[in-house]
Structure 1
Amino acid sequence: MYRTMLLALALPLMLVACAYQVIDLGIHPGFDSSEPTGINSFGQVSGFSSKNNGTFRRAFFYDTPGCTRIDVGAAVPEEASSEAAAINDHAMVVGTFKRTDGRLRAFSFHQGVFRDLGVDDRLDQHALAVNKGGTIVGFQSVPGLSTEEAVAYSNGEAVTFPTFVVVPPSGTAPVNRAVGIGEFGEVTGPLRVSGGSVLGMKFFPNLNRWFKIRAASPHPVLPDFDRVMQPQAINAKGNVTGAIGSAVPHAFLSRNHFEPTQDLGTLDPAHPEWFSVANGLNGSARVVGVAQSATDITAFLYNGTTMIDLNTRLEGTSWRLIGAVAINDKGQIAAQGSFNNGPRRAVLLVPVGLFGSIGQVCPPVLR
């Protein structure tokens, strides 16, 4: 009883980790590197392995509780090139595969069943995100053209969203991509407009309407902070993160689309000319991504007040983190790293907390 009470009291502090253990998620045999793309509440990670020539990829998800990498690519028709983009709490994986005729197709993979989500063979279609309820979003495009349109996949169809009034009263345009979806159906994505501007957008399903995320204040040194916003992810509270600016982007956090977007800055406030890009956030608005340091690029965590170089929080290892893509409410982070300057590999960072190392979570799979 006493031990249970201590653990309950310590749990919130454990999640404010002073260090992380690294779980190597491996690389498919015959491939050269691996990259994570998403994480769910149980620490299961979606991703893909790739070859150095960049021509072929193979989707997977890592079942962390079972310490097993599930070969999603084996279920793809003719084992064509495939890329997992996200995973939800039911271990549903979504992504894109390339058919032998060159068409790009959105897919889902759940409990061993693979599904092509689209029906229009004239279009390239991509799945980018999925929420706990299984709602899948992404975008579609006409091959050979640069135009893209955000869609939701439902009952074998790609359903488009309402357009947004860019130039009142009748100048409308579609949001280009649905890059993230929250648990209550709120969606975020970018909208490219004339003049090179990119608007950050947020969709409210109860209103069936897109709203513009308010821009950040102009930066005193860097251009385009108030003209270019690229959302990357949205959480259950509707908070949105991504990057603002173009020449030198900075990570941003929007807690309310009516309020000015927050510039999360860089790893060193004395160097605003360094870049940072946010890729994911959890329910507490802890943000992860990739950022420039004095010597290299690195994975970062924004803990609510400060941007932290995650390489400074690893537990005495030979790993070097390159970037982070997603974080769950337990503080587990999907990232990419290199071991002893070897190939880039998908990894899972597990918070250590107050009680020190949690031991070997999964056996190493380095080859």
Structure 2
Amino acid sequence: MHPYRFSVRVSRTFILLILGIAGASGQRSAQAQTYHVTDLGTINTNTGVISSHPTGINNAGQVSGYSYSGTSNHAARFTNGLVEDLGVIPGGEISTGWGINGLGDVVGDSQYSVNGGSIRHAALFRNGTVTDLGFLPGWGNYARANGINNLGEVVGHSGTSLDTNVTHAFIWDEMNGMRDLGTLGGAYAKAFSINNSSKVTGRADTGGGFGSNFHAFIWDAAGGMRDLGVIAGSSSSGNFINANGHVVGWSSIAVDNRRHAFLHDGTTMHDLGAIGDNDFFTDRSEAYGVNIHDVVVGTTYRPYQGGAAYAIAFVYRNGEMLDLETLVDASGADYRLYTATGINDAGQIAVDAIKISTNQSRAVLLTPTGTATPAPTPVPTPTPVPTPTPNITPSPTATPMATPTPSITPALTPTVTPAPSATPGSTPTPIATVTPEVTPTPIATATPSAAPSATPALPPAQPLNISTRARVQGGESALIGGFILTGPNPKQVIIRALGPSLGANGMIGALADTTLDVYDASGQLLISNDNWEDSQRAQIEETGVAPSHVLESAIVVTLSGNSAYTAVVRGKNGEPGIGLVEVYDLGLAANSKLGNISTRGLIEQGDNVMIGGFIVGGNAAERTRIVVRAIGPSLSGLGLSNALLDPTLTLHDSNGSVIGTNDNWRDANQPEIAAAGLAPADDREAALFASLAPGAYTAIVAGKANSTGVGLVEAYHVQ
């Protein structure tokens, strides 16, 4: 949640009127990441007000925010080109979304009144339902939810109005309801963000006089509320907390109320500076998001040149604050980027923008296209401020809670992973944009039916081969496999599309001729192949895993690390049949790994079920914790037709013995799956948790009672 969003928007129109559309300034850093800009769309696409605004982003690339519905603003979730109107509390007309968790749940506020009116209550938008979270007793009848974690814990503020400081911070969960988090000794507080370890940040009154001494805080159930201090001056605000417990926000830097973005690393508050040099008008910045690599985003200003100040979105990494407008490719030419509202662990950034050609407000997503290394960001040395002695003064109304088991943000969520319809000649959206080097990481897969002629040697605990077999048809029923390379270095891989060799091994109905297309995270086609011998024959043969049939497809390619990719397998000329998509790691020495597999395809009966394989590496005495999921019903929520309505899941070892079966995920291993942040969105979907020894395993996804449809199989390594 971003507490000063409205102040930025109020000034936006004035800036455009005075300056027009200013050109980008500043030099692009030689080490800077570059980005592709995607317009996330709007709810209303007809006439009148057409606008959207982002407020947060999760690791699957889903963005929370709000958009004009045609009559008023509604909370919205933006997912792979789909804009979802999340609705309102019954009886209301207006809602906003302010935060999102790894499961795609959005929180915000909604107008509440059976007779209309302006009263707002905190709201939870989940699975098509709007839940009224009410307000904090004794603190007015207005409330706003600003953040939510994967455990379903919600934080926000409640008071007699939402946009003043006369509020108290709250935490809410289904079991305990809404409780007061207290203050830092004064009268008021707001909570803006909560991580999966149930640590909260926001700002609270220290008791030094109304409105003049609000400090950023961190709160947990064990220690209560602790003051994070200031850079200088008298005020600060904690706007977001990452998985490491590091907080970003703003702090005063002098008595004249100028603010700078800060990063608090758990010990020290570091001043991140501002792009606008040292003049009074533009020496200002505020941070709204930080990922696990301590890459920070927010808003600042270009150096003052007269007229109105020019607000810009920034990214801060490797000790440098950069103007995001100078880092985008040609896709960003029609957009003015003024506030970055969040960043996920894969480096995707949600940005509030102006579409220049129409002068409309737009939520946009920036996806990395360069090769920057997401190492932890070194923070600058100036103005270190030691953390003050904790001032633990929880409100008498706050109920201490046991700290929940830390949850792990999933790299993929069931509402995001499927790609849109993939038709011959079209460019499909990648299955997901996933998180490098953050657990749980989907692990690699092995071929479940036709074994390759050779397999590279297995290093300890490193994925080598991912594969999934399913029936291939046209449109939505193409076989679509998504994977990422985690780690900073480029890696050489071979990607194969098999069909005819499956038939040679006795598979009835195998594809007679395959084609293979590989796309990057932006949907850009990188390389294609029909018959593997037509190009790269010598290079493919050197790998030892050349396909055994000339009509099968294969590609050897070196791909950038910390990036997502999609491999699409089709039958040539649209012919249907059973096919196999595989990816092998050929660069074992590189500082990056193959991982994060999620494959979508058509699930039928008999040999036409979906079969996903994976290999667990490591020493014989080691055990690896795995969550395997079978997703179907939740795909319908993204407009996918013919989704599998009730999947079943069976996990086998390399001898064919059954390790576990599941129909509905809540029936088995529910605590482990939920604690890992991997609970499916629909109770009919299947999931298994297992602690596995090194070896090869096979996951089979079928439709209950022989039902058919498009489904998704996923494997996660939970550390």
> 2:276 touches 2:300 (CA, 8 Å); kept in 1?
no
- 2:344 corresponds to 1:324: no
- 2:365 corresponds to 1:348: yes
| Aligned-pair CA distance for 1:112 | 1.0
Q: Which moved more, 1:343-352 or 1:150-159?
A: 150-159
Q: What TM-score do the two structures reach when normalised by structure 2?
A: 0.42
Q: Equivalences for 1:163-312 in 2 at 5 Å?
A: 163-164=183-184, 166=185, 173=186, 176-192=189-205, 193-195=207-209, 196-207=212-223, 209-216=224-231, 225-245=232-252, 247-256=257-266, 258-259=267-268, 261-269=269-277, 271=279, 273-294=282-303, 296-312=310-326
- Quote the RMSD (CA, aligned, Å): 2.7
Q: Equivalences for 1:64-213 in 2 at 5 Å?
A: 64=80, 67-73=81-87, 75-78=88-91, 80-99=93-112, 100-118=116-134, 123-142=141-160, 147-155=166-174, 157-164=177-184, 166=185, 173=186, 176-192=189-205, 193-195=207-209, 196-207=212-223, 209-213=224-228
Q: What TM-score do the two structures reach when normalised by structure 1?
A: 0.81
- What is the SS of the residue equivalent to 1:311? helix
| Aligned-pair CA distance for 1:77 | 1.9
- What is the SS of the residue equivalent to 1:289? strand
Q: Which runs of 4+ in 1 moved over 6 A?
A: none
Name the structure 2 match of 1:19.
34
> 2:73 touches 2:96 (CA, 8 Å); kept in 1?
yes
Cα deviation digits, residues 24-46 of structure 1 (max 9, x gap): 01122153321100000100000
> 1:161 touches 1:174 (CA, 8 Å); kept in 2?
no
> 1:23 touches 1:361 (CA, 8 Å); kept in 2?
no
- Alpha-carbon separation, structure 2, partners of 1:115 and 1:51: 20
Q: Structure 1: which amino acid aligns with 2:258?
A: V
| Aligned-pair CA distance for 1:331 | 0.1
| Aligned-pair CA distance for 1:206 | 2.4
Cα deviation digits, residues 195-237 of structure 1 (max 9, x gap): 3122111112223x11110322xxxxxxxx3311021111111
- What is the SS of the residue equivalent to 2:239? strand
- Alpha-carbon separation, structure 2, partners of 1:263 and 1:180: 20
| Aligned-pair CA distance for 1:105 | 0.4
> 2:57 touches 2:349 (CA, 8 Å); kept in 1?
yes
> 1:106 touches 1:126 (CA, 8 Å); kept in 2?
yes
- Alpha-carbon separation, structure 1, partners of 2:273 and 2:191: 25
Instruction: Name which one, 1 or 2, has greater alpha-carbon Rg.
Output: 2
| Aligned-pair CA distance for 1:114 | 1.4
Aligned length: 323
Cα deviation digits, residues 170-191 of structure 1 (max 9, x gap): xxx3551111111101111111
- Alpha-carbon separation, structure 2, partners of 1:25 and 1:107: 23
Name the structure 1 match of 2:327.
313
- What is the SS of the residue equivalent to 2:41? coil
Structure 1: gaps (5+ residues):
1-15, 167-172, 217-224, 363-367
Q: Which moved more, 1:273-282 or 1:120-129?
A: 120-129
- 2:62 corresponds to 1:44: yes
| Aligned-pair CA distance for 1:271 | 4.8
Q: Structure 2: which amino acid aligns with 1:265?
A: G
- What is the SS of the residue equivalent to 1:177? strand
Change over 3 Å in CA distance of 1:51–1:244 after alignment to 2: farther
- Alpha-carbon separation, structure 2, partners of 1:227 and 1:143: 24
Cα deviation digits, residues 248-297 of structure 1 (max 9, x gap): 211111112x43x1111111545575211111111111111111003621
Change over 3 Å in CA distance of 1:290–1:215 after alignment to 2: same
Larger relative CO (CA 8 A, sep 6+): 1 or 2?
1
Q: Which moved more, 1:293-302 or 1:137-146?
A: 137-146
Q: Structure 2: which amino acid aligns with 1:181?
A: I
Name the structure 2 match of 1:34.
52
Change over 3 Å in CA distance of 1:270–1:101 after alignment to 2: closer
Change over 3 Å in CA distance of 1:17–1:71 after alignment to 2: farther
- Alpha-carbon separation, structure 1, partners of 2:75 and 2:230: 35
Change over 3 Å in CA distance of 1:119–1:274 after alignment to 2: closer
Change over 3 Å in CA distance of 1:90–1:174 after alignment to 2: farther
> 1:234 touches 1:240 (CA, 8 Å); kept in 2?
yes
| Aligned-pair CA distance for 1:304 | 3.5
> 2:296 touches 2:316 (CA, 8 Å); kept in 1?
yes
- What is the SS of the residue equivalent to 1:213? strand
| Aligned-pair CA distance for 1:119 | 6.2
Q: Which moved more, 1:22-31 or 1:184-193?
A: 22-31
Q: Which moved more, 1:120-129 or 1:195-204?
A: 120-129
- Alpha-carbon separation, structure 2, partners of 1:146 and 1:277: 18
Q: Which moved more, 1:324-333 or 1:285-294?
A: 285-294
- Alpha-carbon separation, structure 2, partners of 1:302 and 1:312: 13
Change over 3 Å in CA distance of 1:214–1:194 after alignment to 2: closer
> 2:165 touches 2:189 (CA, 8 Å); kept in 1?
no
> 1:118 touches 1:153 (CA, 8 Å); kept in 2?
no
- Alpha-carbon separation, structure 1, partners of 2:171 and 2:202: 12
Change over 3 Å in CA distance of 1:269–1:205 after alignment to 2: same
Identity %: 29
- Alpha-carbon separation, structure 2, partners of 1:19 and 1:308: 11
- What is the SS of the residue equivalent to 2:134? coil
Cα deviation digits, residues 80-131 of structure 1 (max 9, x gap): 1100001111110100011223221011111112100126785211100001
